[in-house]
Amino acid sequence: MARTLSYISGTQLLSLKRRPNIAIVDVRDDERSYDGHIAGSLHFSSETFLDKIPNLVQQVQGKDTLVFHCALSQVRGPKCARRLAEHLAETTQDAGIKNIMVLERGFNGWESAGRPVCRCTDNPCKAEIV
């Protein structure tokens, strides 16, 4: 099944985040460790993303919507989202993922809008968006 990428605003993500079928995938590299992250997100560094796609698919079982982001969601976030879509198109495995989205303005836009940021070191983050 071909999947197209769409974009989601921070406001839309906040309203959807409480649904149990959504996973947020942070593909920033080292900056996650010192800038913080969106509560509840998974971390899959863009540097090693291609090799870790099977791990991601396994970790998001039961989720039908994945929202990717990097710092600005201009390069790494969209690129990793496309790579996942390509992987899913090439495999016969039904991962149950129906929607692949990219967070507009990325983590920097999320944080500058005053949205909640977690600074824990857990991956996946166990905190909830308030």
Catalytic residues: 70
Residues 6+ apart with CB under 8 A from 100: 3, 4, 5, 6, 65, 66, 68, 81, 84, 85
Let me know how long the chain is: 130
Provide the phi-psi class of 96: left if phi over 0, else alpha when psi is between -120 and 50, else beta: left
Are the C-beta atoms of residues 103 and 73 closer than 8 Å to each other? yes
Pair type for strands 99-103 and 42-43: unpaired
Are the C-beta atoms of residues 26 and 38 closer than 8 Å to each other? yes
| Token pair of 31 as six digits | 């900056």
